Structure 1
Amino acid sequence: MLLRRITEHIKNQNWFAVFLDFVIVVLGVFIGIQVANWNEARFERKLSDQYLNSLSLDLQRDLQFSEALSDYYEEVLLHVIKTDELLNAKDAENLSLVVSAYRASEVGYSAPRISTWEQVVSSGHLGLLPQEVIDSGLSEYYEDNDSDKYSYNSLSASAYRKKVRSLIPLPVQLAIRTGCSDVFNDFGIVIGFTKQCEIDVPSELIDEAAANLKESSEVRFLVRFQYSLVYTLLNNISGNNVNIKKALNTIYAIFKDSE
């Protein structure tokens, strides 16, 4: 319709009408582009808010699990130190040595929720996140996942863990798992060890396990490196907690400013 009208105006040499038609066309194109840009910007803002909301939920969950793991590995580290002391003590109580040596070999892990972050990165939407969120420690947290998993794998496959669990008779290990093992909170997160141990096995088996540990020069050496492995993992977890809190505080501040 508009093209036909412009053609007629040109044939009639009605240049003023042609000019008006041209202005209408240009203005229409401009408005169309602006509306499209506005819709795209609104969509990107909405998507950005959705990403931030999902990331905050993921990070809250990760922080809850990570702080619990931090407490757990602090106890594991204490038992590593205690095991080293008991192995070098002349009058070490057998049950205490066996329990500490076993607990010093314990591991726990909670995989972080990375689905939202992976979606952001794989979709090429990293630019939709506010730069202050990325710089707050968020990218470092997710990028460090591989090193954290490596530290966990190193600990779970440590020579100390293998050696100690090969020296403690299986009935003793089963009894420890039953009456002297991990404590979980209401969310199923491991938070430490039970305070009161009930190890229902003959004392002869405890004495045998303790003797095996005391007589093994290898255990005495391996417990020292076990300390380094546990300390490294605990240090990584502590660093994660710092980055998670920084990222969450930044996201919360953005939500508050947008209210």
Structure 2
Amino acid sequence: MVIRRIREHAAQQNWFSVAIDLLIVGVGVFLGMQASNWNDARIERQQSESYRIRLVEDLRANESDLQQRRAYYRQVRSHALAALEVLELPPRPAGEQFLIDAYQATQVVPRTLSRFTYDEMIAAGGVDRLDGADLRKRVKNYYSGIETAETTFRTIPPYREHLRRVMPYLSQRQIRTHCREALGTSSSGEQMNILPKSCRLALDSSSISKAVAQVRSSPGITADLTRYLIDLELKLDLFDLLEGRARNLRQALQEQTA
């Protein structure tokens, strides 16, 4: 309709009206572009807010996960220290508790920490939409730190393979039956692994003595367990470090959303 009116005014050589019509068209185009820009900015703000909220939830889940891992690996470390004490003092009598300690020291939690939101943001270029260069840097550094730590978390110690190779099958089966770790789910949905505080094996004294002697006499078992204890100490330190970083970053993101 506007184009037809411009043509009519041009045919009548009514240039003032033509100018008015063109101005109306220009203003309409400008307002349309501005509305589109405003809408795009609104959608981007909403997406950025959604990312921040989801990052907060992921970080809270990581905090819970790291706390659970720390408790689990402290149990593993306790078993490892008890087994090492027996291995380093061969004359000391050893029974089924040594077998339990030696086996439970091989337990691991190989799962990864939650980073689904961050990976999605990387794919969509969403990290750069977070407010503040310092906050963006902290987010990137945190997840970069997780990636480095996961290398340690995923490491399967030689001791695990060594012990499970030399301990008699019947002993291992009894431990897995009577000393099985409990699997649960936290309030935020993460898997929880808990080792039993105590358990008893349905093995006769002859089988226990044979199994203890077989483990004790395996070359290098003490060295492998010693090395694994150092690895456990590193894991526990990393759990503390990453939990603190996750908590601090979560609080910073919550301040942005407040």
TM-score by length of 2: 0.84
SS at match of 1:190: strand
- Three-state SS of the structure 1 residue aligned to 2:182 is strand
Structure 2, unmatched stretches of 5+, are none
Contact 1:69 1:109 in 2 (8 A): no
Query: What is the CA distance between 1:31 and its match in structure 2?
Result: 1.2
Distance of 2:170 and 2:19 partners within structure 1:
96
- Give, in angstroms, the shift of residue 7 of structure 1: 4.2
Name the structure 1 match of 2:65: 65
Instruction: Name the counterpart of 1:127.
Output: 128
Aligned equivalent of 1:27:
27
Give the drift of 1:69.
1.0
SS at match of 1:93: coil
How big is the alpha-carbon RMSD for the aligned residues of Structure 1 and Structure 2?
2.5
Aligned to 2:225: 223
CA contact (8 A) 2:183 2:191 kept: yes
Question: 2:163 & 2:201 partners in 1: Cα distance?
Answer: 17
Q: Distance in 2 between matches of 1:93 and 1:190?
A: 31
Q: Which piece of structure 1 moves more, 58-67 or 213-222?
A: 58-67
CA distance in 1 between counterparts of 2:93 and 2:193 reads 27
CA distance in 2, matches of 1:186, 1:149: 21
Tell me the residue number matched to 2:79. Answer: 79
2:158 equivalent in structure 1: 159
Alignment match of 1:233 (pick from 215, 235, 243)? 235
Q: Which residue of structure 2 lines up, in the alignment, with residue 102 of structure 1?
A: 103
TM-score (norm 1): 0.84
Equivalent residues of 2:6, 2:21 under 8 A apart? yes
Q: Is the 8 A contact 1:179 1:198 kept in 2?
A: yes
Aligned counterpart, 2:204: 202
Q: How far did residue 146 of structure 1 move?
A: 4.2
Is the 8 Å Cα contact of residues 96 and 201 (structure 2) preserved in structure 1? no
Task: Tell me if structure 2 keeps the 8 A contact 1:101–1:164.
Answer: yes
Q: Residue 87 of structure 1 contacts residue 97 of structure 1 at CA under 8 Å; is this kept in 2?
A: no
What pairs with 1:126-145 in structure 2 (closer than 5 Å)? Answer: 126-131=127-132, 133-136=135-138, 138-145=139-146
For structure 1, the residue ranges without an aligned partner over 5 or more in a row are none
The 5-angstrom pairing of residues 33-48 of structure 1 reads 33-48=33-48
Give the partner amino acid of 1:105.
Answer: T
One-letter identity of the residue aligned with 1:212: Q
1:113 aligns to 2:117 (yes or no): no
TM-superposition CA deviations, 1:126-154 (whole Å, max 9, x none): 22333454333x33343345434432332
Q: Give distance in 2, aligned partners of 1:146 and 1:43.
A: 31
Identical-pair percentage: 25
